[in-house]
A and B are shown apart, each in its own frame.
Chain A
Amino acid sequence: MRFLAARLAQLVLVLVTVSAVSFLLLNHLPGNPIITLLGPAATPQAVAQLTVQLGLDKPAWLRYFIWLGNALQGNLGSSYVNHQPVLTSIGQRLPVTLELLVLSQVIALALAIPLGIISALRPSQLVDRLSSGAAFGLLSVPGFILAELLVYLFAVRYNLFPATGYVHLTEDPFQNLRSLTLPALTLGLGSMAVYMRVLRTDMIATLQQDFITMARSKGLPTWWILLRHALRPSTFTLVTVGGLNVGTLIGGAFIVEYIFQVPGLGLLTINSIYARDYLVVTSTTVLVAAGFVIVNLLVDLLYTFLDPRVRSARFAV
C-alpha cells in the first residue's frame, strides 16, 4: 500500500510539473492563437477584442491556475482555434493512436519473441547472427528514414498500401487496416529490434540456470522447456522496455503520425503547437505524462506476476 501511495504522489507531482512547464513554455513562444485565427492583416481593434474575449489578456500564470482549477473538475477547456472542447478532440484522436499502438506492438512481438528464443537457443549460430545483425541495423535507422523507405517500397514501387489517407475503422475495417499498415510497420520494426535483443540476452541467462538443466534432465522436449519454463522468467527486461515504449507511444508517435498523416494524438499535438493552441498542447502533454507514469506502475505490478519472488522483495519495504 505504501508503494502505491508513493507512486500516486509521484504521479501528481509529475503531472503538475509537466503541465506547468508546458503551459508556461508555450505561452512564451513568439506568436499566439490570435494570429492563427485572424491572420497577420487583422486590425488592432479586432486583435484587442479577441484577446479579451479569449481571456488571453490575463497573465500566463493566472491562466494556468484557472486551467488547472477547471481541469481538476474535469474540464480541460476548449481549443482557441476551432472552439472544440479539448476533451472531445482527445476522445476522437486517442482511439486512433491506441489502434496504431496495438498494431505496432503486435507486429513487434510477433517477430521478436520467436526470433529472440531461437537466437538464445543457439547463440552465434546462423539465425542468431542474422537476426542480431538485422536488429542492430534496424536500431540505427531513424524512424523517419524507415518510414520513407517503406513508403518507397510499398506505396511508390509496389502499390500495396497507401502512404497517407487514414480510413476510420467504422467506415471500412479492411481499408482501415491497410491505411495503418505502413505506420504500424514503421513503429513495430523499431520496437522489434529492441525487444529481440533484450529477450535474447535475458533468455541466454535463464537457459543457464539450474531449473532448466533439471527440466532437460527430466527429458522434457526443448520447445516445452523454452515456452513453459524459460520464456516467462526471461521477460523482465522485455516487459520493462516494452512498458516504456508503450508509455511513450501513448502520446502518439509524433513523427510517424506526421509522415503518414494519421489523425492521432501526435498529429493533434504538432498541429496545435504550430497554431499556439496552448490548452490543447498542455492537455495532450499531461495525458502523455500520465500515460507514461501509469504504464510504468502497471509494469512494476506485472513483475510480481512474472516472478512471484519479487512480491516479497518489493512490497515488504
Chain B
Amino acid sequence: MRDSPSEPRLTEAVVAAAAPVAAAPGSLNGAVSPAGPAYVGRTLGPGFWISIGWVVLMILAALAAGVLPLQDPTAIGDNLPRLGPTGGHLLGTDELGRDLFARVVFGARTSLIVGFSSIAFGIVVGGAIGLIAGYYGGRLDAALNGLSTVLLAFPVLIFLLTVVTFLGQNLFDVTLTLGILSVAPIARIIRANTLAYANREFVLAARALGARSRRILIREILPNVLPSALAFSLVAVAVVIVAEGALSFLGLSVRPPTPTWGGMIAEGGQVLAQDPLVALWPALAMFMTVLALNFAGDRLQVYFEVREGGL
C-alpha cells in the first residue's frame, strides 16, 4: 500500500468524474456514522426493500413495455396536445399529443438497459483487471494506475460527446461507451479491495496447501470482494443513468423519436411556463430510480461492513 494516502481520493474522484454534475462520492465514501448504533446495519431495513421494489418494478415495466396496453409513445397526432392527467391518459399528453405515461415507461427502457448493461460490462472487465492487478501487482498494476490518472483528468462529458458522435447514437454504442468508461474506476475499486485480502491468513493458508493462483483468486478472494462490488455497482448504475440522462438531455444519446427520460426532460423544459407536468413526470421517474439505486447501494454497503466488523 505504498500509495495508500491517495487511494480513497482517487476512488471518489472516479465517481465524481463519472458524473460531473450529479456525482455521488459521498455515498461511496460511506455514510456509516461511527457514532451510530451498531445494530442498525444488521438488517437491510424496509427502505432497502422499497428501493429494490421500485427498481424491480421499473425493470419489469421496461421489459414488458412492448406488451403492456400502452399507447404508441411515438405516434404524433393521435391525441389532443397538452391534456392534463385523465383516465385515458394517466399522466396526460405532451406538446405533440403523445401519451406521457407510455413515453415514461418506454423511456425507462433506454435508461435501465444502458445503466445495467454498461455496468455489467464494467464489472466483468474491470473486475477481472482489478483482481489480477491487485493480486499480481507489477507492470499491469502500474499501467492501470497510469491509465486511470489520465482518464481522471480527462473531462468525461467531452469524451462521451466525441465518442458517441463517433460511434453512433444508438442504444448499443451508447451502452458500450459508458461501459468502457466505467472499466477503469471499477477496476481501481476492485483492485483496492483485492489488495486488502491478498495477504490475509486464509489466502496464505490456501497457498501453503498448494492452491494455484487461479484457484486462490476465484475461490478465496473473489467471494470476499463480491459483496462490496455489488453494493458499489448499484450506485454505479445510478451514475450511468444520470450520465445517459445528461447525454440525451443534450440530444446526443439514442436518437429521437425513441423516448428517453433525458430527452423528455429537455422537451418539457421548453414548455415549463405553459405545462410544467411534461418535464415533471420523466424527472420524477429518473429521480426516484436514481434515489432508489443510491439508497439500496448505500444500505448494502453498511450491511456488509457491519458483518465484517462483527467477525
Query: A18-B150, A123-B33, A293-B153 are known contacts. Are A255 and B13 too (CB-CB below 8 A)?
Result: no
Would you mind naming 17 contact pairs between A and B with Cβ atoms under 8 Å apart? Answer: A22-B154, A25-B163, A25-B166, A30-B165, A123-B33, A132-B31, A140-B238, A141-B290, A142-B21, A142-B246, A148-B279, A201-B33, A241-B12, A270-B250, A273-B165, A285-B154, A289-B154
Would you call B12 and A244 a contact (CB within 8 A)?
yes
Query: Does B25 count as interface, using CB distance less than 8 angstroms?
Result: yes
Query: Does A205 count as interface, using CB distance less than 8 angstroms?
Result: yes
Would you call B283 and A145 a contact (CB within 8 A)?
yes
Would you call A152 and B272 a contact (CB within 8 A)?
yes
Contact with B along A261-286 (1 / 0, CB 8 A): 00000000110010000000100010
Which residue of the partner chain, among A13, A152, A269, A313, contacts B150 with CB atoms under 8 Å?
Answer: A13
Query: Does A135 count as interface, using CB distance less than 8 angstroms?
Result: yes
Which residue of the partner chain, among B162, B268, B291, contacts A273 with CB atoms under 8 Å?
Answer: B162
Query: Does B226 count as interface, using CB distance less than 8 angstroms?
Result: no
Beyond contacts A208-B35, A237-B8, A289-B153: 10 other A-B pairs, Cβ-Cβ < 8 A, are A140-B238, A140-B291, A152-B276, A194-B25, A207-B35, A244-B9, A244-B16, A253-B21, A273-B161, A285-B154
Query: Does B20 count as interface, using CB distance less than 8 angstroms?
Result: yes
Listed residue (B24, B158, B238) with the most chain A CB atoms within 10 angstroms of its CB:
B158
Query: Does A190 count as interface, using CB distance less than 8 angstroms?
Result: yes
The 8 A-B residue pairs with the shortest CB-CB distance in the complex, in nearest-first order: A143-B21, A197-B26, A140-B291, A289-B153, A142-B22, A140-B290, A142-B242, A139-B24
Query: A22-B162, A144-B262, A273-B162 are known contacts. Are A194 and B26 too (CB-CB below 8 A)?
Result: yes
Q: Main secondary structure on chain B at its contact with chain A?
A: helix
Report how many A-B pairs have Cβ atoms within 8 Å. Answer: 188
Q: Main secondary structure on chain A at its contact with chain B?
A: helix
Query: Does A258 count as interface, using CB distance less than 8 angstroms?
Result: yes
Q: Which residues of B contact A (CB under 8 A)?
A: 5, 8-9, 12-13, 16-17, 19-27, 29-36, 146, 149-150, 152-155, 157-159, 161-163, 165-166, 238, 242, 245-246, 249-250, 262, 265-266, 268-269, 272-273, 276, 279, 283, 286-287, 290-291, 294-295, 298
| Distance between Cα atoms of A144 and B150 in the complex (Å) | 27
B241 to chain A, nearest CB (A): 8
Would you call B155 and A285 a contact (CB within 8 A)?
yes
Query: Does A137 count as interface, using CB distance less than 8 angstroms?
Result: yes
Listed residue (A148, A152, A156) with the most chain B CB atoms within 10 angstroms of its CB:
A148
A93 to chain B, nearest CB (A): 15
Query: Does A115 count as interface, using CB distance less than 8 angstroms?
Result: no
Residues of A within 8 A of B283 (CB): 145, 148-149
| Distance between Cα atoms of A92 and B165 in the complex (Å) | 28
Would you call B22 and A197 a contact (CB within 8 A)?
no
* Nearest CB in chain B to that of A31: its residue: B165
Query: A190-B21, A194-B23, A254-B20 are known contacts. Are A18 and B29 too (CB-CB below 8 A)?
Result: no
